[in-house]
Amino acid sequence: MADAPRFSVMIPAYNAEATLAETVESVLAQTFADWEIVIVDDGSTDSTREIAEGLAQREPRIRVVHQENRGSGGAYNTAVRSARADMLVMLSADDLLLPDHLQSFDTFIAQNPEASIFSSSGYYEYEDGTREASDLNTKWSDPSRCQMPDLLAACFFGIGAVFRREVFDAVGGFQEHIYAEDYPFWLMAFAKGFRHRHLDRPLAVHRRNSMQKSADALRVRKGDLRAVRDVMAADLLSPADLAAARRTVARLRLNILARETLSALLGGERTSRLIDRMRGRHR
- The reported pLDDT for the residue numbered 273 is 59
Q: What is the dihedral of CA 163, 129, 219, 177, to 10 degrees?
A: -50
Q: Is residue 12 part of a domain?
A: yes
How many other C-beta atoms can be found within 10 angstroms of the C-beta atom of residue 123?
A: 20
Q: Is residue 95 part of a domain?
A: yes
Q: Which domain holds residue 140?
A: 7-214
In this prediction the pTM is 0.87
**3 state DSSP class of 16:** coil
Q: Which helix (H) or strand (E) holds 223?
A: helix 217-233
Cα 55 from Cα 240, distance rounded (Å): 49
- At residue 214 the predicted structure's pLDDT band, cuts being 50, 70 and 90, is very low
Count Cβ atoms within 10 A of the Cβ of residue 272 and give its class: 0-12 exposed, 13-18 middle, 19 or more buried.
Answer: buried
Cα 251 from Cα 107, distance rounded (Å): 37
pLDDT at 198 over 80: yes
18-27, 204-213, 270-279: lowest mean pLDDT where? 270-279
Cα 101 from Cα 121, distance rounded (Å): 11
Average pLDDT, the chain: 89
Torsion angles phi and psi, residue 218, rounded to 5: -65, -45
Q: Is residue 52 part of a domain?
A: yes
| Distances in whole angstroms, Cα of residue 166 to Cα of each of 1, 3, 193, 249 | 14, 19, 12, 29
Q: Is residue 261 part of a domain?
A: no
pLDDT at 281 over 70: no
Q: Is residue 269 part of a domain?
A: no
End-to-end CA distance of the chain: 34
- The CATH number of whichever domain residue 65 belongs to comes to 3.90.550.10
1-18 pLDDT tens trace: 568 999 999 999 999 999
81-133 pLDDT tens trace: 999 999 999 999 999 999 999 999 999 999 999 999 999 999 999 888 888 88
**3 state DSSP class of 116:** coil
Task: Determine contact, residues 202/123, Cβ cutoff 8 Å.
Answer: yes
Q: Is residue 263 part of a domain?
A: no
Mean local confidence (pLDDT), 278-283: 45
Long-range contacts of 244-250 (CB under 8 A, 24+ apart): 244/148, 244/149, 244/152, 244/153, 245/152, 247/152, 248/152, 248/153, 249/225
- At residue 269 the predicted structure's pLDDT band, cuts being 50, 70 and 90, is low
> Which of 73, 69, 90 is closest to 15 using CA atoms?
69
How many domains does the chain contain in total? Answer: 1
125-178 pLDDT tens trace: 988 888 888 865 667 777 667 889 999 988 899 999 999 999 999 999 999 977
Q: Is residue 144 part of a domain?
A: yes
61-65, 193-197, 268-272: lowest mean pLDDT where? 268-272
Q: Is residue 255 part of a domain?
A: no
